[in-house]
Chain A
Amino acid sequence: MEEQNKDYILECTGISKAFGGTQALKNVQLQIKKGEVHALLGENGAGKSTLMKIVIGLHKPDEGEMVFEGQRYAANGPADALRKGISMVHQELNPEPHLSIAESIFLNREHTMKGLPFLNKKETNRQAGIILKRFGIEKDPRTLMEELTLAEVQMIEIIRAVSCDARIIIMDEPTSSLDSEETQHLFHTIRELKEKGVSIIYISHRMEEIFEICDRVSVFRDGEYVNSCPLEGVTNEELIAMMVGRQVKSIFPKIECEIGETVLKVENLSGKGFQNISFEVHEGEILGISGLVGSGRSETMRVIFGLDPKTGGKIFLGGKEIAIKSPKDAISKGICMVNEDRQNFGLCLYRSIRENISLPNLPSRQKGILINQRREKKEAEEVAKVLTVKAASIESEAYSLSGGNQQKVVLSKWVMAKPKVLILDEPTRGVDVGAKSEIHTLMCQFAAQGMAIIMISSELPEIMGTSDRILIYHEGRINGEIFREDITTAKVTQEDILAKEFGQKEGGK
């Protein structure tokens, strides 16, 4: 019956957006009907978030136009979007902890005393009380935000959007931190909103939820629009096929090499965001870790590297159990990690390439209490040359380099450390094509020298092209293991891996 309503409340056409040299969106479209729950689906980096940020005015599109309720629409930031009727409830909720519920709901449109510039707290609280009751929330409107659970904060955000008369509410992974009861409560609210004619754009990686609550779905892939369809009548497999598409396999410079003894072994490791993870990685092996963002893959590696504490399980290195309390412990034992957040965890941007490369390697390069500067410079220059870091001088500051070269500097410092285990988290993110393939070649060379490499990547072609073995994460657990033969013989396809990332059960292997 809804199908008859041909009028779209929001229509985006021909939207393109580039960041620097990276094309985040290419000529995408999106149509939202009044009163529908519309799912956005796609892999990490498919362009969903960028598109939503354009809709609420956090980014300006390079091209394309948006029509909202029959009128040309453009927002100057989230506040403006909310005024015009579009609101977004972010995945990372950041409420003002010291505001009350009432103050949060009426933030930026406070009730004032008649003719005076003073706040009318009584009226604010009264109005908030009425709204809370309407949504069946039994809370005093004077309760402070910091006393609420995540689910409640989310509810308040939704209430705030609705009370601002939002006709479209964008929800980004709204259930990621809710338990099943809270999720059901959220769905109840979504259905109520729908009845009132509010449209919901629902971003989620959880297929069951999408099938349960959404009416239609739009699929994105690599910054491009793939298709939209009603969810009724479409299968899980069909959606996954849409997300993957048929990319031509890139050529990866895989060097096959002898896989040796077990180097690192993890047993029932648990921590924040993952439980009971067990795996082994061997000399000369590249172990690929695949999974959606937030599935626990980076979190596991952070614990192994000592950045976060573990809550259970054991880590063995060369057969001996080891305790890692800090990255310092990990590095001294021969475990190094290239973090996914290169600028934040990888480099001191205003220091030279030389200093960045030698930073973790100083303890063993001292002459008495002083740094052996000649040796330091020589070694840094050598390793930078091997990794083909392109810079005017080894004394150039790191911020002057391109993304690919910055990444090579980060790699250089760990190569100089000669680790037994090298963990790479999204090693080619934001790196240009040339440098990307150079980094792949380097990885293979390190493996050939006997290093054990663990590589996390969101790019399926990359992970399939370089790994000897792939572990697939889903919601904090390993949901499948794939060997290289299965990929080279095309027994396992991108679709199979993606299906496992999205939680499809069936036997691993």
Chain B
Amino acid sequence: MSRKSANAASESIRFGMSEIEFNLFMRRYGIGMVMVIMAVILAIVSPTFRTSGNVISILLQVSLNGILALGMVFVITGGGIDLSIGSLLALTSVIIGAMLNATGSIVLACVVSVAATTVFGLLNGILIAKFKMFPFVVTLATQLVIRGTAYIISGGYSQSLANAEFKEIGAGKLFGVIPYPVIILTVVAILAYVILHWTKFGRYVYAVGGNKNAAIASGVNVFWTTAGTYIISGFCCGIAGIIMTSRISAAQPNIGVGYETDAIAACVIGGTSFAGGVSTIPGTVMGIVIIGLIYNGMNLVGINSYWQTITKGLLIIGAVMLDMVMNKRK
């Protein structure tokens, strides 16, 4: 018989933002402090950093990785990982090239390429959720399959795209101020927020990633939930791939190598637990911005890119440690 009483936390449920809720908020978004401190230091050190043009340029820089990370956060929250995103960028690129060549229709090119990446996401999801294969291995393998497919479609050649209208997607600006990629990133972030935090599906993703058995015992369809996260990741790859292709004005089968690293890094820095079941979209956005700050800030201060890579690595370790200390988990 346990004599341990529950009095330790015996206040009844409080409404509104209590101290506990405040602590919880800090634990989830404490990384925001890191972001603010970084920005303040950079603003002091570099006058260029303070310009509004630079803020937009940072957002533009992170737009690609941001969209990928916003897809990745679903997968990691659901207890998986998606290593195939880099290849999916290449697939998008070559499909756009082929479609523009064949039809000249930008809309058709974009729709078909996004549909293709989404289908590959579904394929990842089926292999992982239906056949209970390890996400790491499955996406490591499909990454190769997708990359190979991209080479076959393109015949292995890069093809420059002369379509000026298509170029506008990556280079154009709304009202001549805000680049379209930044707007797309914002829309994707808002959609991701709504889906993860406000829908049944989002809750199920948290439940499946947090405790699959409990999710099953609560009537959650684990297959569609898991598959759904990979479908979202695939969809985001398609969107990011369109922007990337437009910005480089070429259809290339060899692009996107290593892009999964930054996407995963943004999730982890943003407080996403690799064990699954813990993440927030605002946190992920902060992770995305922090990575942007590292690139942008160090460039402005004149530190070479080798150090940027090291800093990013150390920051990931730091973020995980911070998470463990703050959450006092084993």
Task: Using CB atoms and an 8 Å cutoff, list the residues of chain A in contact with chain B.
Answer: 20-23, 305, 307, 326-328, 330-332, 337, 339, 344-351, 355, 358-360, 362-363, 366, 369-371, 373, 381, 384-385, 389-397, 400-405, 413, 430-435
Contact = CB atoms under 8 A, between A and B. Distances in A.
A404 B6 contact: yes
B203 A359 contact: yes
Contacts of B6: 390, 401-402, 404-405, 432, 434-435
A138 B206 CA distance: 53
15 contacts: A20-B2, A307-B216, A307-B217, A345-B213, A348-B211, A355-B207, A358-B203, A359-B203, A363-B200, A385-B13, A389-B13, A391-B9, A401-B9, A402-B6, A434-B6
A390 B12 contact: yes
B252 interface: no
Given A350-B278, A381-B13, A432-B4, 4 more contacts: A22-B2, A331-B218, A359-B220, A390-B12
A358 B13 CA distance: 16
**Of B203, B207, B211, B219, most A-chain CB atoms within 10 Å:** B219
Contact of B210 (A349, A371, A373, A401): A349
Interface stretch (B17-25, B82-90, B103-111, B114-122): B17-25
A346 B213 CA distance: 8
Nearest 5 CB-CB pairings of A with B: A21-B4, A348-B210, A21-B2, A328-B219, A392-B20
Interface in B1-47: 1-6, 8-15, 18-21, 24
B220 A371 contact: no
Contact of B218 (A327, A404, A432): A327
A406 B11 CA distance: 15
Contacts of A358: 203
A409 to B, nearest CB: 11
Nearest to A348: B210
B198 interface: yes
B284 interface: no
Contacts of B21: 393, 395
A403 B207 contact: no
**Of B2, B5, B207, most A-chain CB atoms within 10 Å:** B2
Interface string B192-231: 0010001110011011001101111111110000000000
Contact of B219 (A331, A370, A389, A431): A331
A168 to B, nearest CB: 31
Nearest to B216: A327
A351 B211 CA distance: 10
Contacts of A346: 214, 217
A405 B2 CA distance: 13
A396 B25 CA distance: 11
B1 A23 contact: yes
B199 A371 contact: yes
A432 B2 contact: yes
B218 A413 contact: yes
A297 B3 CA distance: 29
B18 A393 contact: yes
B273 interface: yes
Nearest to A399: B329
B170 interface: no
B297 interface: no
Contacts of A21: 2-4
A403 B3 CA distance: 12
Contact of A344 (B8, B14, B213, B278): B213
A384 B13 contact: yes
Contact of B200 (A22, A366, A392): A366
A81 B14 CA distance: 52
Contacts of A370: 194, 198-199
**Of B9, B198, B203, B218, most A-chain CB atoms within 10 Å:** B218
A347 B13 contact: no
B135 interface: no
Given A362-B200, A393-B20, A432-B4, A351 B207 contact: yes
A385 B214 CA distance: 23
Nearest to A389: B13
A402 B20 contact: no
A362 to B, nearest CB: 4
Contacts of B213: 344-345
Given A350-B278, A392-B20, A434-B5, A360 B219 contact: yes
Given A22-B2, A346-B214, A433-B2, A355 B203 contact: yes
B217 A339 contact: yes
Contact of A431 (B2, B11, B19): B2
A339 B213 CA distance: 10
Contacts of A360: 218-220
Contacts of B179: none
B80 interface: no
A176 B135 CA distance: 37
Contacts of A390: 6, 9-12
Interface string B274-289: 0001100000000000
B13 A391 contact: yes
A432 B211 contact: no
Nearest to A329: B219
A430 B3 CA distance: 11
B4 A20 contact: yes
Contacts of B18: 392-393
A308 to B, nearest CB: 11
A435 B216 CA distance: 27
Contacts of B217: 305, 307, 327, 337, 339, 345-346
A348 B13 contact: no
A362 B203 contact: yes
Given A360-B218, A370-B199, A392 B211 contact: no
A391 B21 CA distance: 12
A138 to B, nearest CB: 38
Contacts of B219: 326-328, 330-332, 360
A402 B199 CA distance: 29
B214 A344 contact: yes
Contacts of B278: 350
A332 B3 CA distance: 38
**Of A20, A344, A391, A394, most B-chain CB atoms within 10 Å:** A391
Contact of B2 (A391, A413, A430): A430
Contact of A393 (B1, B14, B200, B277): B14
